[in-house]
Amino acid sequence: MKLFDVYPLFDVNIVKGKGCRVWDDKGQEYLDLYGGHAVISIGHCHPHYIEMMTDQLNKLGFYSNSVINKLQVQLAERLGKISGYEEYQFFLINSGAEANENALKLASFYNGRTRVLSSEKAFHGRTSLAVEVTNNPKIIAPINDNGHVTYLPLNDLEAWEKEIAKGDVCAVIIECIQGVGGIRMATKEFMQGLRKACDKYNTVLICDEIQCGYGRSGKFFAHQYLDIKPDLISVAKGIGNGFPMAGLLISPKFTPTYGQLGTTFGGNHLACTAALAVIDVMEKENLVKNAGEIGNYLMQQLKEANLPHVVDVRGQGLMIGIELDCPYKEIRNKLVFEQHIFTGCSGTNVLRLLPPLCLTKAEADEFIAKFKKVLA
Ligand SMILES: Cc1ncc(COP(=O)(O)O)c(C=O)c1O
């Protein structure tokens, strides 16, 4: 049997990782400024993570959600503390799309409505509701195209207020820093206006923090720069440092009932251990602060370098977009094959940096020196 061929692949076989470095099967070392698509938060193969995972695997890898799992309770408590959301409730699932799927479902259970507002260029996942709120017709199959969603320009508060005021909007879903959309940031004025409008019309405000969250922006959540509190916050990617898991932070205004949500694998023992190890390391190594400091340093250096082809550098912390005046493809290929640096991308012209949050200043400098060579 062959693989279903949906991914355009780099001809590189990565077999080993450590911190912000990975190695291929020929022993070539790479600087990883992609983090496996924003997934590696505390660095590849962190010793504390390996120790906790190995220890848990030797005890119990999985048991179902029909019995007490104290690791879930511990994780909810730790996450509540580190994020400043102690009064919220936590539901565990396995992927980002699933987190958004459950967020939209909860919103609809809450106010009985079915209409959703989402941003132009938004990406929220590939399953039924998650893909429907994703603004990319190429990946919305006819079966997912159910007319629930109105897409509006990010930061055009008036347009969003006008729709919310119709009184039939179930939820609005926003990435406060758009990832796939090209590192576009929601403004404070916009998000505060949305929060007010949602409160007035009983619309649920969902922040998708799957890519911009969990410390990447230099605050625990990107929306914390904007002084708002969403009703629902979806998290995934970096939360398990590569172990597939996701979560939904749920405001106290939602009252759970038995059977309302559910999952077989979500919040299993190994997944919770991965997430607890991530929080341990984030706290011990001050990774949120590091993401802010190194990210700002990197952006400042990139701006000051006045590099050819670079028309804009934007982002927050270690979520950085470098907009080029030409397609990124050749530059990104040269970065991988000549300079041995992985980067992400979005659209046709934006390089996207999503490194592990433990990136050092020396590694940031190394990228800038090698990027200059590629652009020269
Ligand atoms: C902002 C955002 N939301 C949702 C998702 C979907 O997450 P997953 O691929 O884990 O389903 C992604 C993945 O890239 C994302 O960046």
Q: What is the pLDDT of residue 33?
A: 98
Residue with the two structure tokens 């992400």: 344
DSSP3 helix / strand / coil % (the chain, rounded to 5): 40, 20, 40
The pTM of this model reads 0.98
Give the Å distance between the CA of 235 and the centre of ligand 1. Answer: 9
Residues at CB less than 6 angstroms from ligand 1: 95-97, 100, 123-125, 175, 179-180, 208, 210-211, 236
- Closest C-alpha to ligand 1, atom 4: 124
Q: How does strand 89-93 pair with strand 29-32? A: unpaired
E strand spans, the chain: 14-18, 21-24, 29-32, 89-93, 115-119, 149-152, 169-174, 177-178, 184-185, 204-208, 232-235, 246-250, 310-316, 319-324, 341-342, 344-346, 350-353
CA gap 180, 161 in Å, rounded: 25
Q: What is the pLDDT of residue 258?
A: 97
The secondary structure of residue 38, as a DSSP letter, is H
Cα dihedral value 143, 149, 150, 151, nearest 10: -80
Nearest CA to ligand 1 atom 8: 96
The predicted pLDDT at position 62 comes to: 96
pLDDT along the chain (376 residues), means of 10: 96 98 98 97 98 98 96 98 98 98 98 98 98 97 97 98 98 98 98 98 98 97 98 98 98 97 97 98 98 98 96 98 97 98 97 98 98 96
Q: Ligand 1 pocket check: which of 34, 129, 237, 241 to mutate, most ligand atoms within 8 Å of Cβ?
A: 237
Please write the tens of the pLDDT for every residue from 39-83. 999 999 999 999 999 999 999 999 999 999 999 999 999 999 999
**Residue labelled with tokens 């503390």:** 81
Q: Ligand 1 mean position to 233 CA, how many Å?
A: 13
Q: Return the ligand 1 atom nearest residue 244 CA.
A: 10
- What pLDDT, on the 0 to 100 scale, is given for residue 277? 98
Domains of the chain: 27-42+286-375 (3.90.1150.10), 47-284 (3.40.640.10)
Determine the atom of ligand 1 nearest the C-alpha atom of 246: 10
- Which of 93, 100, 121, 210 maximizes ligand 1 atoms within 8 Å of its Cβ, making it the mutation to test the pocket? 210
Contact 99, 124 (CB under 8 A): no
Q: Which residues 6+ apart lie within 8 Å of 63 measured at CB?
A: 69, 268, 269
Q: How far is the CA of 119 from the centre of ligand 1 (A)?
A: 15
Nearest CA to ligand 1 atom 7: 96
Taking the CA of residue 37 as reference, the ligand 1 atom at the shortest distance is 14
Amino acid at 67: V
State both tokens at 224: 């914390």
Q: How far is the CA of 97 from the centre of ligand 1 (A)?
A: 6
Strands 115-119 and 169-174, bridge-based pairing: parallel
* Selection from 138, 139, 132, 88 nearest residue 114 by Cα: 132
Which atom of ligand 1 lies nearest, measured to the CA of 236? 10
Q: Quick one: pLDDT at residue 199?
A: 98
| DSSP string for residues in 59-95 | H-S---TTS--HHHHHHHHHHHHHHT-TTSEEEEESS
Neighbours of 150 (CB within 10 A): 15
361, amino acid identity: K
CA-nearest residue for atom 3, ligand 1, is: 124
* Ligand 1 atom nearest 100 alpha carbon: 4
Measured between alpha carbons, how far is residue 173 from residues 79, 135, 169, 209, 331 in Å?
22, 12, 11, 10, 33
Atom of ligand 1 nearest to the CA of 237: 10
Q: Which is the closest atom of ligand 1 to the Cα of 97?
A: 11
